[in-house]
A and B are shown apart, each in its own frame.
Chain A
């Protein structure tokens, strides 16, 4: 499975848009890009998944350029409750084993 690289931490303020970029230079043709969110003392929670271009749901947007070597998770108008660790994972759609990297620790300030 492709290795991912993310910033270790990011700070933001309430109401701002936050963009977290993940690099996955060795992504394979059949790999999908998935983001998970983890709050303290909880297990990771699925946020969004995409293959190419743009995906949007009620929580976030995921932007994937044509070469798919990176992806950007966009959180619109963050609130204090968005403070969490965000993981970018890459793997084939028929792969069950999730491989977590270090994640990005997002801290939202008032």
Chain B
């Protein structure tokens, strides 16, 4: 059983397009996150949701819009994709807000051409 899953695993698209990445966790956790890992492997938090409510928004461009339809899902929609958006995007979850053991998904490698 996959604890945190993401789709798609790979995403190749052109500049200016709009794309979505989906994340689901079956751990019963309350808190979910989106991270961006750049080409140098630097990992930075983008968003955090707790019980479907936005808790953290790390000054991410408003082209990025997360959406949490329920506690088990956190999707990421990106408008007007730019070259600099190319990265690996990781979804993660934790039992509750402030719980620091986070469980990561396998990542979505986004390539913008």
State yes or no: do A and B come from one complex: no
Residues on B close to A: CB < 8 A?
none
Binding site for B on A (CB under 8 A): none
